[in-house]
Amino acid sequence: MKNEEPKRKLRIRILYTFLAFACALVLLGVRLVFLQVIDSENLQRMAIEQQTRDSLVASQRGAIYDRNHKKLAQSSTAHTVTANPNEIKKAKKDILETAAKLAVVLEMDAEDITKMLQKETNHVTIKRRVEDDMANAVRELELTGVYLQEDAKRYYPYGNFASHILGFVGVDNQGLGGIEMVYDEQLKGVPGRVIALKNALDTDMPFKEEKHIDPENGTNVVLTIDEVIQHFAEKHLEAAYHEEKVKAGASAIVTDVQTGEILAMVTKPDFDLNEPFTLPEETAASINAIANEDERNEARSNALQKLWRNKAVQDSYEPGSCFKIITGCMALEEGLITPETPFFCSGSKKVENRTINCSHHDGHGAQTFADAVKNSCNPAFIDVGLLVGKEKFKEYYKAFGFMDVTGFDLPGEAKGVFYSDQNYNVVELATASFGQGPIVTPLQLMTAVGAVANGGKLMKPFLVKELLDSEGNVVSKTEPTIVRQVISQKTSEQMCIMLENTVANGTGQNAYIKGYRVAGKTGTSEKLPRGSGKYISSFIAFAPANDPKVACLVVLDEPSNGQYYGGAIAAPVVGKILEDTLRYMGIEPQYTEEEKANLEIYVPDLKGLSKDNASKNLTNQGFKYKVVGGGDTIKGQTPAMGSMLATGSVVILYTEDNSTGQSVIVPDVTNLTLSAAQARLAEHRLNMIVTGAGATGNSSNLTVANSQFPAAGATVTEGAAIEVEFRYLDVD
């Protein structure tokens, strides 16, 4: 028995040892299964990351074109300089020396690079968007742990052109505004990759084995805007923005009324798309003066957001008298009035307990509805609105699209606002009838008036015409969309005729274009709170009135140069944009007999002709003449051959060699009527070319010279033509 006890203890120890080994084997097996089966993907990924260096190759972002395929945004090849601080340390390279060499080539501060290289990491980005010359210089340094990755740089060839439409990209080539943001997925493409093997020291293998996965380039976007028309709109709006000292910004939209395509869209002030985070100097200086860093950063962010804001789409305002177009269409469509329906304006209208004035305080007296449109008469439109009634008015307001967003391509579109049912009473209906109270966006108003011009068809506005792949094949195309028929063709035609008369003979004369039938409406609204002295001036028009093709809206927010009526300062801008656009589009002028009689024509080449033949030539073309010198052959003339002059103007003929006309100091004709300006220039032996409202032929004391070129005080030769722009003063 005594011999059995040690044996039993030995067997127990053996059993325990066996069990211990068995448990260890089981645990090892479980661990092995976990590593090889359950966690295998994660371990493989970690192994690949440890054994390889994976670099992204930026895809070529798609280009953005105008409707005629002029490139407005493009990408070019660039490089990103990166570094592996751990690799530099393991290779025992001098960080300060590496940083110093990079600083010289990359034009950076060596201290900043040193801080990056001292980090405990395998990757830092030192500089992005490096051009080829700089990248080659980095490559020639042959620095351990410093790498070049393929990148792409976004470039906008026209700088601040169409900045609020195009938008811009961030440091990672992602769209941050405008079309760049909305169509980011289509534009950005798919990045490629370069995979290189690394050794145990975390450096590249000496044989440089690499695997390349090519990037897929982005889709190209073709816009509906026309680069030429966009330039017209930008040029004339920029001039008005500065001339009228507009404090809260300005916007303009030009559309094809038959399709809803946006031909131009401008917001001022704008910004350089190649430097989108750079504020204007004055703004930047005031922000930099803020002592508190958090407040300074917040002020900078707010200033940038304001600069990037697209007023044509995102800002809403009271449309003022421009809305009378819509009110008139409501009543015409319902058969409540005709263009001949009589109204009476005493200068004000009392609605319940409120007296509402007309812009013409003495009143318009007896007038037809067509006259009320021409005169922009508030009391008459109050009567029209009351005839329509609360329910129908709101129904049409919604039908014209003011209660909804248009579904436009750009981000941040605001909705229109109307009174709630609880706050919508007779007084509110009365003021809404002439555009005070309802809140709309410029885009909504343009869309609604486009329906009036387009036979009553409300078109969905759009900005992207088509998407193209890298081979130029059409991926998708936007077709014009009719949202609904809002009014009849008859109502549309009636309103077009009345709006044409408004420009030819009424408050819209400052948008008059000789030879083109323009239909338009003025708009002036006082900003809240009332009595602040801050106004929004606007004008909307389309042409030709008998076959509308193109429409234009201009909005000036808080002009501060003394004048604020839309008919005075916004209408001339619309007229200039439309005139340039119509001529560019090849739409032929349709001159009235009166216009034909007052057309400017080219001065013929008279050099070498006899005095008698030259005088007959001028007389036959309707010019007057003055001969200087005693010779018989014409040696020179003023104005020169090819100059434009109105019939009845005087051409100076010189009959002796080296003879020149007398020098004349140009007089100041601003604020003079047409006849007075013409007489003053004639006294100084100068001719006059009439532009603006003076070209309507409606000469009166209310049409005066606004500007002239050359300016008063300039020295010219007698017979020279002075271009004088006239403005009509009886506007709203």
Alpha-carbon distance values, 568 to 104, 244, 323, 693, 702 (Å):
58, 11, 18, 10, 12
Classify 137 as helix, strand or coil.
helix
**68 DSSP 8-state letter:** T
587 Cβ partners below 8 Å, 6+ apart? Answer: 516, 543, 544, 549
Distance of CA 58 to the CA centre of its chain: 29
Q: What is the DSSP string of 556-574?
A: EES--SS---HHHHTHHHH
Identify the H or E element spanning 501.
helix 489-505
Residue that the structure tokens 């690949």 belong to: 48
The answer to whether the CB of 686 falls within 8 A of the CB of 624 is: no
Classify 667 as helix, strand or coil.
coil
Q: Report cis status (omega within 30 of 0) of the bond before 529.
A: yes
Alpha-carbon distance 342 to 366, whole Å?
A: 7
**462 DSSP 8-state letter:** B
Alpha helices in 120-192 (DSSP H): 132-141, 163-166, 178-182, 184-188
Closest by CA to 535, choosing from 507, 511, 565, is 565
Tally of CB atoms within 10 A around 475: 12
Q: Which residues of 453-545 form beta strands (DSSP E)?
A: 457-459, 464-468, 474-477, 482-485, 519-526, 535-543
Which is the catalytic residue, given 59, 75, 251, 321? Answer: 321
Conformational region of residue 620, where left means phi above 0, alpha means psi within -120 to 50, and beta covers everything else: alpha
Length of the chain: 732
Identify the H or E element spanning 74.
strand 71-83
Exposed/middle/buried for 422, CB within 10 Å: 0-12, 13-18, 19+? exposed
Alpha-carbon distance 108 to 126, whole Å?
A: 9
Alpha-carbon distance 383 to 330, whole Å?
A: 13
2 Cβ partners below 8 Å, 6+ apart? Answer: none
**Residue 76 annotated as catalytic:** no
Closest by CA to 414, choosing from 314, 266, 308, is 314
223 Cβ partners below 8 Å, 6+ apart? Answer: 64, 65, 66, 67, 72, 165, 179, 262, 463, 464, 465
Classify 115 as helix, strand or coil.
helix
Pairing, β 64-65 against β 220-223: parallel
The answer to whether the CB of 341 falls within 8 A of the CB of 364 is: no
Alpha-carbon distance 670 to 706, whole Å?
A: 5
The upper half-sphere exposure of residue 522, i.e. CA atoms within 13 Å in the direction of its Cβ, equals 34
Point out the residues that are catalytic: 321
